[in-house]
Structure 1
Amino acid sequence: MKRILIFDDDTDILEILTYLLTEKGWEVHTRTNCNNIISILEECRPDVILMDNWIPDTGGIIATRTLKAHEEFKEIPVVYFSANNDIEKLATEAGADTWLAKPFDLDELELMLSRF
């Protein structure tokens, strides 16, 4: 079973994604902040990460850069997702592997996650 870790401060999004991805066979872990991201990764050991841009307190860009600079976790794919108009630029700035604009279609998310 593949593990996904979702960082988003919107608990409604976390609940919906947890339900939908669990139904698809994923083991889902969620966090409403990305403080101490390395400790969280050590605990969850995800196969892929969904990272929101606007997340307290560290923020998605710094959190993504932190994990991509870490020798043990730098290979974990990060899907940067946000409702921000310049999501592609933000994802590149963060060092994410790919991006997904909110609101997104569930089929689009599934297709993206199937690549990892």
Structure 2
Amino acid sequence: MGNKKILLFDDDVNILEVCTIILESSGYQVATSQTSHDIIEKVTEILPDLILMDNWIPEIGGIKATQLVKNHPDFKHIPVIYVSANSDIHLLAEEAGADSYLEKPFNLDDLENQVKLMLDTEMH
């Protein structure tokens, strides 16, 4: 089965670092990106089991980036967790076609639980 791979999109290096440490300590492989315009190339290269997508990521934004993945025949099955500080995050996640969402600032337990939930769901 191997380690599950998670691809994080966020332009905040601190968030990427913290999330990477937490997720790696839970046994996941983690790749990160600070831009989203090249999302299809990134996903093709890394083939993640899960994507965490920030709303405000340059240059095309989280919604557009998520839609690119969800409209891609090879990648649309990959679960996307949408991350945003907006109060209407559920609407943004829905518009993007994301599978789930996390409101910023999230605590790390929520992050881990959400990731685990998404990856467990994918197994069945």
Question: TM over 0.5: same fold?
Answer: yes
Alignment of 1:39-58 (within 5 A): 39-58=41-60
| 1:14 aligned counterpart, secondary structure | helix
- Identify the residue that residue 12 of structure 1 maps to in structure 2: 14
TM-score scaled by length of structure 2: 0.91
- Identify the residue that residue 102 of structure 2 maps to in structure 1: 100
Structure 2 residue ranges without an equivalent (≥5): 120-124
Displacement of 1:33: 0.6
Q: Which runs of 4+ in 1 moved over 6 A?
A: none
Task: Give the share of equivalent positions with the same residue, in percent.
Answer: 53
Aligned AA (1:49): I
Aligned AA (2:9): F
Taking the aligned partners of 2:114 and 2:22, their CA distance within structure 1 comes to 15
| 1:54 aligned counterpart, secondary structure | coil
Displacement of 1:19: 1.0
Aligned length: 116
Per-residue Cα deviation, 1:38-68 (whole angstroms, up to 9, x for no partner): 1110101000000000000010000000110
